[in-house]
């Protein structure tokens, strides 16, 4: 009997696009282990963003590697995962795909006005002034990348249901 590789769902998109919220909603349905990408940033990265300066590729590589390593560890143990990570560029997603064969990206999108409004009404180290550079850096999923696009202007439980339906996953009892 062959065992299929576990799924690794990465909720991607610019800051404030609702990655963590959607991932939590999916976790509530599936019970899979979840990692918040922001928690893996070294303190220098967080300090840089908090001071209103965007990260560079060089700032991001080590962080992405640590996320791929977290995923890979679980992949080898046969465990599916959920991760929130901006994964803005194709090359960043290439690193994350090393975490496991069945990596699937859920790209959270929304109008800039809505994202700004949501960023401004939450407590977070990321200033809304960085949204512009996040949008400039973003590279959309390419046709050969496994994933889907979801508009964040709908309730988290509906987003979660769409993700499960797309992958044929069934909520735990
Ligand atoms: N589907 C939704 N409906 C209503 N509000 C939402 C939705 N998704 C997220 N929000 C709100 O928008 C804000 C940003 O959401 P969230 O923290 O999940 O985004 P994020 O992409 O993980 O952000 P970051 O990458 O900056 O940490 C939060 O205040 C959250 O409650
Ligand atoms: O690649 C990046 O620039 C970072 O991941 C940011 O996106 C933040 O970590 C996150 O969005 C914080 O809110």
How many angstroms is it from 126 CA to the middle of ligand 1? 12
Per-position DSSP letters for 17-69, written without gaps between them:
SSHHHHHHHHHHHH--EEEEGGGGS-HHHHHHHHTT-PPPHHHHHHHHHHHHH
pLDDT for the residue numbered 74? 98
Predicted pLDDT at 109: 98
Q: How many domains, the chain?
A: 1
**What would you measure as the largest C-alpha separation in the chain, in angstroms?**
53
- Residues 73-122 have pLDDT tens digits of 999 999 999 999 999 999 999 999 999 999 999 999 999 999 999 999 98
* Residue 51 placed within a domain: yes
- Give the ligand with the smallest distance to the CA of 36: 1
77 by DSSP, 3-state: which? Answer: coil
Choose among 14, 33, 12, 13: nearest CA to 24: 33
Q: What is the pLDDT of residue 87?
A: 98
What's the pLDDT score for residue 4?
85
Query: Separation of 45 CA from ligand 1 center, angstroms?
Result: 20
Ligand 2 atom nearest to CA at 37: 9
Give the pTM: 0.97
Residue 1 lies in a domain: no
Domain that holds residue 101: 7-167
Ligand 2 pocket: which residues have CB below 6 Å?
Answer: 15, 38, 41, 55, 60, 86, 88, 124, 126, 134
Structure tokens at 16: 């404030």
pLDDT of amino acid 110: 97
Residue 2 is assigned to a structural domain of this protein: no
Q: Ligand 2 pocket check: which of 14, 55, 92 to mutate, most ligand atoms within 8 Å of Cβ? A: 55
> Which value does ipTM take for this structure?
0.96
Residues of the chain with pLDDT under 70: 1-2
Supply the pLDDT for residue 57. Answer: 98
pLDDT at 143: 98
5-44 burial, b if ≥16 CB within 10 A, otherwise e?
ebbbbbbbbbbbbbbbbbbbbbeebbebebbebbebbeee
172 in a structural domain: no
Q: What is the pLDDT of residue 123?
A: 87
To test the ligand 2 pocket, which listed residue (23, 52, 134, 152) has its Cβ within 8 A of the most ligand atoms? 134
Q: Residue 22 is part of a domain; what is its CATH number? A: 3.40.50.300
């Amino acid at each position: 009997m062959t065992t299929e590789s576990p799924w690794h769902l990465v909720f991607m998109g610019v800051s404030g696009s609702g990655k963590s919220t959607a991932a939590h909603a999916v976790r509530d349905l599936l019970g899979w282990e979840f990692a918040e990408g922001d928690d893996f940033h070294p303190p220098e990265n967080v300090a840089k963003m908090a001071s209103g300066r965007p990260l560079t590729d060089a700032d991001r590589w080590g962080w992405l590697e640590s996320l791929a390593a977290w995923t890979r560890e679980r992949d080898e143990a046969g465990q599916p995962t959920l991760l929130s990570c901006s994964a803005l560029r194709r090359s960043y997603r290439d690193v994350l795909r090393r975490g496991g064969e069945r990596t699937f990206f859920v790209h959270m999108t929304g109008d800039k006005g809505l994202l700004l409004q949501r960023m401004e009404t939450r407590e977070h180290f990321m200033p809304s002034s960085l949204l512009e550079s996040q949008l400039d850096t973003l590279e959309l999923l390419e046709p050969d990348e496994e994933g889907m696009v979801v508009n964040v202007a709908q309730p988290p439980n509906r987003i979660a249901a769409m993700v499960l339906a797309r992958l044929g996953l069934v909520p735990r009892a």
